[in-house]
Structure 1
Amino acid sequence: MAVLVTRPAPDHEATAAALRDKGIDAVLAPLMRCETVAFADDGADYAGVIVTSANALRAIEDHPIRQRLLALPLFTVGEHSAAAAKAAGFDKVVIAKSKSARNAAALAELVARHSKGAPPPFPLLYLAGAEVTRDIGADLAARGFSVVTRTVYRMAPLAHLPKLALDAFAAGRIAAVMHYSRRSARAFLTAARIEGVEISALALPHCCLSDAVAEVLRDAGAARVVVARNADEAAMIEAVMRALPAPAC
């Protein structure tokens, strides 16, 4: 019995380790690839940095702007991105905790609270992905803040499942599938159809990070969809435990 992990690299390795700690085998099948988007440093002064994904921090790892941003406060949602920020060298990391993945409203509230309602003299720099579900700049502009958005990465879908995943499907080893975003869920469905495993895949339990992700699987006809109670890794592992059949006595 194994769980198919569609989370992109390199984060899928941490998910696999968490599953193995529970005695569950993991088959890695990332369906999205993170690509860095080049951008110029205009030398402007910023009051702080906003990120909603660890991918943004990886994208500026070798960028000239990184060194001068490290001294600024960094605002993010969730422990995973916060840990990545600290590992990248940011000392002033401020975390918004939310039950929704990358919740922009919670992030805007965090920035406003941290600034005590008084917008700083310089804009905030939002290091964003190419696909933005909510305009953080607009949320903060309504509170009187100025935000400069720079797209620093994009997630590109992959068209095929890796051979290890196909072999596991053929052997009947896949017991559940984990999904972390709507785009990766759609990429999984497309790849499953191309590889000829769509029917067997839809019959499996699908563990989703949020209701929005789950909607993609339900619309495709998935037989059983389990949604994580919170938008974090621990809740995803717990969702897998709920989805898997009870061990035989």
Structure 2
Amino acid sequence: MHLLLTRPEAESQALRQTLEARGHRVDAAPMLAIRQKHAVDLPLDGVTAVLFTSANGVRAFCDATPRRDFTVYAVGPASALAAKAAGFTRVEAAGGDVDLLAQLVRARHQQGAGALLHAAGSARAGDLQAMLQADGYDVRRCVLYDAETAIALPDAVAARFGAGGYDGALFFSPRTAATFVTLVQAAGIIAGATSATAYCLSANVAREARSLPWRAVTVAENPSEAALLALIE
């Protein structure tokens, strides 16, 4: 199949190699550009656990400090794997969104057992800090990176999509899917979606993608890259 990746560039490289090894043709049109903030002063005094809502947060946190002695509560499997790969040994994963992450923290982290640091991006997909502060937790939100949305599709991608040249497009976040929809609409190439399937990591992602007339919209069984690849295969 001819597939389109919409993840940020750093997160797409390994996935692209995996898909190409399985015989697929792959193009990339990153919908977000990750810009890490530098010289960030992390408020780590009293912190015993770190909250990661993306693999980008893991990378930015690890660039800011060498410490890996915290318990990690990750939003989903991808963030948890990134944390383990970075050297954290106490890692637990939620089911893929901030509501489930808040539930995980409430179940695993006793109030008074230390502060929580949310290694966050500038764009919020739900206010995790407010959710947990309402329950009495000491939560510190530290913005470590910006995720800037694309302003246009690459010319070659727009031309191929408009001509119905893709069999499928992969979407890993609601914001990515929403940005792609906006850019396709702005380019006047909506009809190209009728030839392709939207492969979505979760129901929330699919909700944004459905604004285009896809041939089909499919949702991974669980919010993991492996489950999304299973949809394609």
TM-score range, shorter chain: 0.7 to 0.9
Residue of structure 2 in register with 1:15 after alignment: 15
Residue of structure 1 in register with 2:103 after alignment: 109
| CA displacement, residues 7-33 of structure 1 (integer Å, 9 cap, x when unaligned) | 112111222223224322211111111
Residue of structure 1 in register with 2:171 after alignment: 179
Residue of structure 1 in register with 2:116 after alignment: 124
3-state SS of paired residue (2:227): helix
**Take 2:224 and 2:125, find their aligned partners in 1: how far apart are those partners?**
18
C-alpha spacing 1:157/1:118, structure 2 compared with 1 (3 Å):
closer
Tell me which amino acid in the other structure corresponds to 2:222.
N
Trace 1:35-50 onto structure 2 (pairs within 5 A). Answer: 35-38=35-38, 39-42=40-43, 44-50=45-51
| CA displacement, residues 61-116 of structure 1 (integer Å, 9 cap, x when unaligned) | 432xx12x422222213332122223323233x21242xx2x2333233334434x
Residue of structure 1 in register with 2:24 after alignment: 24
Does 1:197 pair with 2:198? no
Deviation at 1:175, TM superposition (A): 0.9
Deviation at 1:199, TM superposition (A): 1.9
**Take 1:59 and 1:137, find their aligned partners in 2: how far apart are those partners?**
18
**Take 2:161 and 2:50, find their aligned partners in 1: how far apart are those partners?**
43
Trace 1:147-226 onto structure 2 (pairs within 5 A). Answer: 147-166=139-158, 168-169=160-161, 172-226=164-218
Unaligned runs of 5+ in 1: 242-249
Tell me which amino acid in the other structure corresponds to 1:47.
T
Deviation at 1:185, TM superposition (A): 1.5
Residue of structure 2 in register with 1:74 after alignment: 72
Tell me which amino acid in the other structure corresponds to 2:108.
H
C-alpha spacing 1:112/1:163, structure 2 compared with 1 (3 Å):
same
Q: Normalized against structure 2, the TM-score is what?
A: 0.85
**Take 2:105 and 2:151, find their aligned partners in 1: how far apart are those partners?**
38
Residue of structure 2 in register with 1:247 after alignment: none
| CA displacement, residues 131-173 of structure 1 (integer Å, 9 cap, x when unaligned) | 2222222333344321111111221111222244245447754
Asked if structure 2 preserves the Cα contact closer than 8 Å seen for 1:31 and 1:158, the reply is: yes
C-alpha spacing 1:61/1:164, structure 2 compared with 1 (3 Å):
farther
Kindly tell me the number of residue pairs found equivalent between the two proteins. Answer: 232
Residue of structure 2 in register with 1:6 after alignment: 6
C-alpha spacing 1:218/1:111, structure 2 compared with 1 (3 Å):
closer
C-alpha spacing 1:8/1:205, structure 2 compared with 1 (3 Å):
same
C-alpha spacing 1:108/1:212, structure 2 compared with 1 (3 Å):
closer
Residue of structure 2 in register with 1:62 after alignment: 63
| CA displacement, residues 164-187 of structure 1 (integer Å, 9 cap, x when unaligned) | 424544775411111112221122
Q: Normalized against structure 1, the TM-score is what?
A: 0.81
**Take 1:221 and 1:201, find their aligned partners in 2: how far apart are those partners?**
6
| Identity over aligned pairs, percent | 31
3-state SS of paired residue (2:210): helix
Asked if structure 2 preserves the Cα contact closer than 8 Å seen for 1:75 and 1:95, the reply is: yes
3-state SS of paired residue (2:16): helix
**Take 2:175 and 2:76, find their aligned partners in 1: how far apart are those partners?**
20
Tell me which amino acid in the other structure corresponds to 1:214.
A
Deviation at 1:37, TM superposition (A): 3.5
